[in-house]
Amino acid sequence: MSVLIKICGLKTAPALDAALDAGADLVGFVFFAPSPRHIDCEAACALGARVAGRARKVAVAVDASDALLAAAIAALQPDFLQLHGRETPERVALIRSRFGLPVVKALPVSGRSDLACAHVFAQVADRVMLDARAPPEATRPGGHGLAFDWRLLENLALGVPFLLSGGLNAGNVAQALAITRAPAVDVSSGVERASGEKDAGKIREFICAARAAAAAAARERAPSHEERAKAVSR
């Protein structure tokens, strides 16, 4: 089992460097002013250049206008757009067509009924992110460091890859992967020392834990020497 790892909400060079040096596959940058992880286009341009092809860049937006998306794309030159608001399937399809970039649609999950929505968006998005539903009092979307019942995703088949998000950290990512077999994981607050402030040590620990869990799962599913021998003899 291999797993893609996304470190999201990066806004400083040291945090970005920590993610890149630790081997993150995707790095996310938030273009949403109410978020403590928001960056402006000038900062995005500088950080985007710093990535230098070492990971894929993700521009994260929430119910953004075409003008904001165009500005973010011009600044960051992302590989993916991540839509984290209340975008409809029609809006997702339009953005994907208009900007010519793969789209990740983030969806809140609190119960099994939410997965029906995931199947709908899987028809118009390239990937789906399954995140914990924000608390009722929250002023912005996202899991807010909370996890949902990962057992809801057992044997999930959407037709497109999904990312698991919400409440993940170095201490629980192995369990999350064992239950969901998610092809990708996304973390933001789980690698922070305070809201919006990434911790280099926590980034390294998370990536190491996710890689170790994926490697262990691959070993468990690999055929034994005896099984390989039997297969050859048939």
**Which residue shows structure tokens 């402030």?**
197
3 state DSSP class of 123: coil
| Whether 41 is catalytic | no
User: pTM for the complete prediction?
Assistant: 0.90
CB count within 10 Å of CB 156 equals 16
The two structure tokens encoding residue 193 = 């020392």
- CATH assignment at residue 130: 3.20.20.70
**Residue 54 identity:** R
Ordered per-residue pLDDT tens for the chain, 234 residues = 689 999 999 999 999 999 999 999 999 999 999 999 999 999 999 999 999 999 999 999 999 999 999 999 999 999 999 999 999 999 999 999 999 999 999 999 989 999 999 999 999 999 999 999 876 555 565 545 789 999 999 999 999 999 999 999 999 999 999 999 999 999 999 999 999 999 999 999 999 999 999 998 888 866 645 655 565 555
- Measure CA 15 to chain center: 17
CA atoms of 134 and 169, how far apart (whole Å):
18
Q: Which residue in the list 131, 149, 199, 208 is annotated as catalytic?
A: 131
Q: Which residue in the list 8, 17, 21, 117 is annotated as catalytic?
A: 8
Number of compact structural domains in the chain:
1
CA dihedral 60, 196, 160, 104 (to 10 degrees): -10
Segments forming the whole domain that contains residue 200: 4-233
| Whether 186 is catalytic | no
CA atoms of 121 and 7, how far apart (whole Å):
23
